[in-house]
Structure 1
Amino acid sequence: MKDVIFDDFQNAVDDCLIRHRSLLDIMTKLQESEGRINRALAKSVTNCGCIKIEAEKQSMLNNDSIDIDDLKNYLNTHLKGNLCDNCREVLERELGNNLFYLTSLCNLLDLNLYDILLKEYNKINTLGKYTFR
């Protein structure tokens, strides 16, 4: 059933994309949408203030007894707070635009977005924490 949703989305994107059908257009629109995501995140910090970035060097105690299962408990996201409703809405819109152009790239290259998702999902399930991402 889920593959139907992905396929329907991919077909809808193909039907909707009229102006930017060139590979160069899609590449630059995808990159632009990534920049807009970053800008929306920065505005959530600097303009709204609903989230804060408190960054410092990642510190893992020099402890050889840290198990890989516990490693994520020692690493910091540097993110404090929660997105307000307005910032969440802006980021969802920008991420949706990014997904649109990513799907457009898949369409142009005759790649199936759902197949890509499944391959990545299977890799994550197979390697688990050892993907080291």
Structure 2
Amino acid sequence: MKDILIDDFQYTAQELLVRNKSILDLITKFQDSNSRVNRAIIKSVTQCGCLTISAHKQDIPEDASFDEMKSSADAHVGGTLCENCRDAVERDMGRNVFYLASLCNALDLNLYDIILKENDRIRMLGKYNLR
């Protein structure tokens, strides 16, 4: 079912993309949509205040095990997105995924296959694939 949903989304993106079919346009639109995601998240902190960010150096002991490292790392995010901010972030993330699917179409790649391969890679490498 999930593969059908992703394939359908990629097909729909291909059908609806008219003005920005050039790979150059797609790359810049993808980058622009990514910056809009960042901006929507930042606005939830600076304008709305539903989120807070308290960034500091991650305090992970040198001799920590993988599980200890995982549990001691912090996302630095406090609060939860309000309904308005959630809508803005989701809309901008959706646009970002649209342009990702469009890039896949331009390069004759299948987004679902890419997700499967990356999932296999990260599962196979497990904790050795730290990002």
Q: TM-score, normalised by structure 1?
A: 0.94
The structural deviation recorded for 1:129 is 2.1
1:20 aligns to 2:20 (yes or no)? yes
Tell me the residue number matched to 1:80. 78
Secondary structure, counterpart of 1:11 in structure 2 = helix
**Percent identity of equivalent pairs:** 53
Tell me the equivalent position of 2:4: 4
Residue identity opposite 1:15 in structure 2: E
C-alpha contact 1:6 1:114 (8 A) present in aligned 2: yes
Whole-angstrom distance in 1 between the partners of 2:11 and 2:28 = 21
Q: Deviations over 1:35-77 (max 9, x none)?
A: 1011101100000000001011111234x2x211221111111
Q: Distance between the aligned counterparts of 2:52 and 2:98, measured in 1?
A: 28
Runs of 4+ in structure 1 off by over 6 angstroms are none
SS of equivalent residue, structure 1 residue 33: helix
Task: Give the match for residue 126 of structure 1.
Answer: 124
Unaligned runs of 5+ in 1: none
2:113 to 111, 115, 120: 115
> Which structure features the higher share of helix residues?
2
Number of equivalent positions: 131
In structure 2, stretches of 5+ residues that fail to align are none
Q: Please list, as runs of the form range in 1=range in 2, the aligned pairs for 1:38-117 lying within 5 A after superposition.
A: 38-62=38-62, 64=63, 66-117=64-115
* Residues 69 and 129, structure 1, Cα contact 8 Å, conserved in 2: no
Q: Distance in 1 between matches of 2:84 and 2:46?
A: 14
Could you tell me the TM-score, scaled by structure 2's length?
0.96
- 3-state SS, counterpart of residue 91 of structure 1: helix
